[in-house]
Structure 1
């Protein structure tokens, strides 16, 4: 069987097929597996193309990591659910204790600093009502409308709901799907305590799964071909052929595959499906960028904890939303801070240098630490099509196409979740299940 695309969805599909005894060939156009969540090497330094965070609720991701030999306890830093701002910036300090659900949320709310009585009652009301609704809406709407219906206070929206929505859906609340947002909250805030934990990768994103996935596939008799761009997929006599780099690649003497999973981004999938299956749903997506600004300081520079939320103020060119102290996460990255800007269209209009300078000023001001104004070097990495814009009522394609043996995989396929690593993994697993019931 062939899998076209070596991102997290493609790797997941190939691992599942291999696990079930199939010989798989995985094609990836880039030289590194991982797609939009991968390792990059810049000026001799190993970084990720974006700082990611997972949730304890990502059951399929954690399961597949274990399948390929990764111990999540070693590869991920596990922190309790929290929304903590630098003390000097006037934000909030909310962290859940290690108690069974739902007491962890209740006690965390009672202890929260920076929230008034009305804010805490507002949050409690939201959680209670959402549970009563079983986290479902009859008709989807925007997250902003949902929060208004639930009478959430302006401060709570600013300090908690807006940053959570942008971080989870990479879409501003004004145009983000309330139902998808509720799905994420259902599986984290509304589930067992460990499901709400925040998991920060200690290793680079390629090592976190794709690299080990490749070893697993090869260990089960499969092949991984990087720098191999699939130009065309065709059906012949009940089998499938792929054209790679203008030359047909033969899996065996007959040069054919029993099935093909297309795990590329929607635009490329539409090209490969042209003339084979319906592609309307693939051309309707709008996209949102995610930008990560890396700032290197002296090795002794540390924050008080591994990560903080930041007060975003676009009018003041302060676009940072979360900052991660990589030195507290990975021993070989002392003094390196990673600042994440989701839905970053406006931010990247500044240009990389101006954005990095603005982020440094924002950090210095937020933490009241003048030395953060002057990093030794900075690097801005922006994925302009990081995720699809998760709009209300968005129609997403199924894994199955009209053609037998031709399957789609990707975080954009039909799912409860937005475009996350978990969504990609789930889609890859489901794609494999379509071929191996």
Structure 2
């Protein structure tokens, strides 16, 4: 297993269940989790980005339970919602059977005009009739124009949902992938549409427990060990790795290899192999998109009325934040800690971190009418420049299988309905393991 992110851990768990299979995981970072992991900053344990899961993430939730995670305790469950600070749009799905929950939510929604509600009802009804699928992909912007969505509904509902789910602007994002996300949120059973907020750091949420589960079954997990090369042999594969407990360059032979790295790392490992030249070029051409998370620490008494809010962003006016999470609602030990997320953060990433944190704090103070939010005691800006692949319309994603026997790919970028989410990573890891017979 080359890579100990969520896809790699999922593949490792799936393989370790088989009798007689010995699993070895190589992870270049010292912490498991890949692009959804914990980090330490300023003496605090944080995540490299805030995540929301859905009740529809069936494979992820199943796998978490399998390795011993108490899902109900590990995450806060809230109904599907898009809620802005007081005075803004307020859309909350009640705990009613689908699709009644969506109809009632739309009827009760505040901050939307009658035309906005009718546009959303028309969109949802037609998309459901279409099976949430398109014959030919197009951009989300084009899709919304076809469905005559109002400017206000686009600004307050569809645009933030697209950015949060696909990390790609409306103007280039895949409408087909966006519809798949909506199918499992707005168009799903009520429980499937629930939003799940992790109480623990992302490594503790699954990868750490997976490593413990694997160790009990004889698997080996190497953290801080980088795989430098893979090479086919007569009866398997040879891996060259360095770092961690291995030290200098060491080689080891395996029967099968799951390549569960980023697209860039996978392309580099495949490039020397003539048989995978086309695949390597395809992966190297994948565009990536950044996500910025700004952590702001206030006194423990500072608390938002609910776990998270959507925010109206306007980069030109210095309002960068798109969503704000009150970590104190999730973990009492993090009282007063707010996490503000900026998706498709190319422009935000170019702003000096101190200036960006100050602008976001000022945005929160003005939005909530609470001047104290302009003066955090501590801040930390984290930008993952390659947080996800750019989920553009018409993007061709590779299959899990390759042309070489015993070599498969696992990662949220592989072919599938979903964008770069934890569920897509887990699905891909499980599918990759199933190919290795």
For the superposition of Structure 1 and Structure 2, which TM-score range results when normalised by the shorter chain?
Answer: over 0.9
Q: How does 1:250-399 map to 2 (within 5 A)?
A: 250=252, 256-274=253-271, 275=273, 276-277=275-276, 278-399=279-400
Choose the corresponding residue for 2:138, options 129, 134, 141.
Answer: 141
Aligned to 1:17: 15
Partner SS for 1:416: coil
Say which SS state the counterpart of residue 173 (structure 1) adopts: coil
1:248 Cα deviation after fit = 2.6
In 2, Cα distance between equivalents of 1:393 and 1:292 = 28
Distance 1:112 1:394 in 2: 35
Deviations 1:401-436 (A, max 9, x none): 100100111111111110111111110000000114
Q: In the aligned structure 2, how far is the partner of 1:58 from the partner of 1:326? A: 22
Q: Give the alignment of 1:397-408 within 5 angstroms.
A: 397-408=398-409
Q: Secondary structure at the match of 1:279?
A: helix
Query: For 1:76 and 1:184, how far apart are their aligned partners in 2?
Result: 20
Distance in 2, matches of 1:80 and 1:248, equals 50
For residues 61 and 325 of structure 1, what CA distance do their matches in structure 2 show? 24
* Match of residue 150 from structure 2: 153
Q: What residue is the counterpart of 2:55 in the other structure? A: 56
Tell me whether 1:194 sits opposite 2:196 in the alignment.
no
2:215 aligned with 1:231: no
CA drift at 1:195: 1.0
Partner of 1:318: helix, strand, or coil?
Answer: coil
Cα displacement (A) at 1:187: 1.7
Q: Which secondary structure does the structure 1 equivalent of 2:13 belong to?
A: helix
Q: Does 1:179 align with 2:176?
A: yes
- SS of 1:195 mapped into structure 2: coil
Q: Would you say the 8 A contact 1:40–1:48 is kept in 2?
A: yes
CA distance in 2, matches of 1:94, 1:190: 15
How far residue 355 of structure 1 moved from its aligned partner, in angstroms, is 0.5
Match for residue 85 of structure 1? 84
| TM-score normalised by structure 1 residue count | 0.96
Aligned with 1:4 (options 2, 5, 13): 2
Q: Note the C-alpha offset of 1:138.
A: 1.2
- Give the whole-Å Cα distance in 2 for the aligned partners of 1:348 and 1:240: 40
How far the C-alpha of 1:266 sits from its partner, in A, is 0.9
Instruction: Indicate the RMSD between aligned Cα atoms, in angstroms.
Output: 0.9
Partner residue of 1:414? 415
Note the C-alpha offset of 1:161: 0.3
Question: Separation in 1 of the partners of 2:236 and 2:329?
Answer: 51
Aligned partners of 2:51, 2:129: CA distance in 1, in Å?
32
Deviation at 1:349, TM superposition (A): 1.3
From 247, 250, 254, the equivalent of 2:249 is 247
Distance 1:56 1:266 in 2: 28
1:280 is displaced (CA, Å) by 2.5
- Give TM-score, length-normalised by structure 2: 0.96
Look up the match of 1:253: none
Determine the C-alpha separation between the residues in 1 that align with 2:41 and 2:289: 24
CA contact (8 A) 1:9 1:424 kept: yes
List structure 1 runs of 4+ shifted beyond 6 angstroms.
none
Q: Deviations over 1:11-53 (max 9, x none)?
A: 1111111122321000001111011110111121100011111
Quote the offset at 1:315 in angstroms: 1.1
Q: Give the equivalent residue in structure 1 for 2:115.
A: 118
Q: How does 1:213-232 map to 2 (within 5 A)?
A: 213-232=210-229
| Cα distance in 2, alignment partners of residues 43 and 290 from structure 1 | 20
Q: Distance in 1 between matches of 2:234 and 2:282?
A: 28
Residue 100 of structure 2: aligned partner? 103
Secondary structure at the counterpart of residue 366 of structure 2 = helix
Q: Alpha-carbon deviation of 1:322?
A: 0.5
Aligned mates of 1:70, 1:429 — CA distance in 2: 18
Distance in structure 2 (CA, Å) of the matches to 1:323 and 1:20: 42
Aligned residues between the structures: 427
Contact 1:241 1:248 in 2 (8 A): no
1:247, CA displacement in angstroms?
2.4
Deviations 1:192-229 (A, max 9, x none): 11111111000000000010011111111100001111
Deviates more, 1:230-239 or 1:29-38: 230-239
Of residues 399-408 and 239-248 in structure 1, the stretch that sits farther from structure 2 once superposed is 239-248
